[in-house]
Structure 1
Amino acid sequence: MKLSSKSYNLSSGGDMMQALSNDLQAKRKEAMGVLGHCPTAEIARHFADIAVPDHEQLRYPENGLVMLRGRIGGDGAPFNLGEATVSRAAVRLNSGEVGFGYTLGRDGEKAQLIALCDALIQAPRFADTIEAKVLTPLRARVTAERKRKAAETAATKVDFYTLVRGEG
C-alpha cells in the first residue's frame, strides 16, 4: 500500500471544532456555577416537568473531603487552609453523554441532579430544554439574590475621610 504524500490543511476545521468544544465547556462551567448556588429542592422542582431520558449511574453519590488551598495576599506562597466536605456523582445517558456533579456539603441528591443536568446540556436534543426550564429561572434567582446582597451591603457602607485642621 502506497502512502499519500499530500499534506492537508486541517487547521480551519480543527479551529472550528475547538471553538465548539470551548463553547460547550463554557456552558457546562456556567451551569455548574448556577446549580451549585441553588438548593436541591429548587433544582428538583425545575426538573419535575422534564422527561428525563434513560441513564445509568457511573458513580453513585458519595461524600468526601477536599483540601482548600489559600495564598497570602492572593499571590503569595500557597498553604493548606483546611478541608471541606463535597459530594460527587456521575451519570451517562443512553446516547453516550457523561455528566459530572460536584457540590460543597453532604448532599448526594444535589450532586446527582447536577450530574444529570451536565449530561443533558451536552445532548443536543435536551440542551435547549435544560437551558430554558432549569438554568434560566435558576440563573435569574441567583442573580437577583446577589444583587439583593450587594445592595444590602452597600447600604451599610461607611465612607471615611479626613478633615484637615487649619492651625496657625
Structure 2
Amino acid sequence: MSMTTTHTKDRQARMGLLARANPTRLSALMPDLPPHDWLRPPESGAVMVQGRVGASGGAFNLGEMSVTRCALRLKSGAVGHAYIQGRDRDHAARAAAIDALMQGPSAERIEADILSPLRREEESSRRARAEKAAATKVEFFTMVRGED
C-alpha cells in the first residue's frame, strides 16, 4: 500500500470518528478554535441517502438527511474540511479545524489529546451495545421427538 493510500485511509477514518463524535465531548476536548479563515463557513443542507436490498440489490432512494459542511484555512496554510450529520455548525467547525491541525506539527498532540480519547470512548460504547445485544440473544435448538 502506498504512502498516499495509507494517508487517505487514515484521514477517512479520522474524519469518520470526528463526524460520529458527541459534539459536547468534542467541545470539551477542544474548547477554542485556532485562528483561521473560512473558505466555506458552516452551512447546512440535505443529501439523499440511498439504500440497497441485500448485498447485490439495486440502489433506491431511502430519504434525505441533513448535513453541515465547512472548510477553513489555518494561519499556517493547512486546509481542513468537515461534513457532519445534522445542523451543528460548531461541531463541523471543530472537525474541520482538527483535520487541518493534523496536517501540521501539532498532529501528535491532537492525536493524543483529542482523537485517542474519542476512539477509546467510541470503542467502549460499541462494546457496551454489543454486550447489551448479546444479553438478549435467544438460542434456538431442535428437540428430537421420539417417534422418528
Output the TM-score relative to the length of structure 1.
Answer: 0.82
Q: What's the CA shift string for 1:125-146, capped at 9, x where partnerless? A: 1111110100001110010000
Structure with the higher fraction of residues in helix conformation: 1
Q: Relative to structure 2, which stretch is displaced further, 144-153 or 96-105?
A: 96-105
- Residue in structure 2 matching 1:106, options 56, 62, 87: 87
Aligned pair 1:94/2:75, yes or no? yes
Q: In structure 2, what is the Cα distance between the partners aligned to 1:130 and 1:75? A: 40
Match of 2:129 in 1: 149
Structure 1 residues 53 and 112, CA, compared in 2 at 3 Å: closer, same or farther?
Answer: closer
- Identity across aligned pairs (percent)? 42
SS in structure 1 opposite 2:9?
helix
1:53 offset after TM fit, Å? Answer: 4.2
Q: Report the AA paired with residue 123 of structure 2.
A: T
Q: In structure 2, what is the Cα distance between the partners aligned to 1:160 and 1:71? A: 29
Output the TM-score relative to the length of structure 2.
Answer: 0.92
Instruction: Summarize the alignment of residues 13-162 of structure 1 with structure 2, pairs less than 5 Å apart.
Output: 19-48=2-31, 53-123=34-104, 125-162=105-142
Say whether the 8 Å CA contact 1:54–1:94 is kept in structure 2: yes
- Structure 2, unaligned stretches of length 5 or more? none
Aligned pair 1:163/2:139, yes or no? no
Say whether the 8 Å CA contact 1:24–1:122 is kept in structure 2: no
Q: In structure 2, what is the Cα distance between the partners aligned to 1:83 and 1:59? A: 22
SS in structure 1 opposite 2:81?
strand
Aligned CA-pair RMSD: 1.7
Match of 1:8 in 2: none
Q: In structure 1, what is the Cα distance between the partners aligned to 2:95 and 2:15? A: 7
Aligned residues: 148
Q: In structure 2, what is the Cα distance between the partners aligned to 1:132 and 1:19? A: 25
Greater Rg over alpha carbons, structure = 1
Say whether the 8 Å CA contact 1:69–1:79 is kept in structure 2: yes
